[in-house]
Amino acid sequence: MCIRDRYRPSQTGAGHDPWALIVLEISAGRIAGVTNFLDIARLFPLFHLPPHLGQLPAQPEQPHQPPQLAGM
């Protein structure tokens, strides 16, 4: 399984805003499935993803480990 974060250009024109978390299911080295999660207000903080790209983070970046999500 591979989890990717996706951002889109901000409506303000400055930087990028969260759009989705994308989960790729991998089987035999190939993509077997794709699931998009659009509940960004809840999910992005769980993965310590920034609420906006294009600004400096308030703290130095810390390595993170994805949380275990129920039902996944």
Q: What are the boundaries of each domain within the chain? A: 2-46
- Helices marked H in 1-72: 40-46
pLDDT(64) > 50: yes
Query: What residues pair up with 27 in beta bridges, in sequence order?
Result: 30
pLDDT at 30: 93
The number of CA neighbours under 13 Å toward the Cβ of 24 is 11
Q: How do residues 5-62 score in pLDDT, each as one tens digit?
A: 788 888 888 888 898 999 999 999 999 999 999 998 899 998 888 888 885 455 555 5
pTM reported for the whole predicted model: 0.59
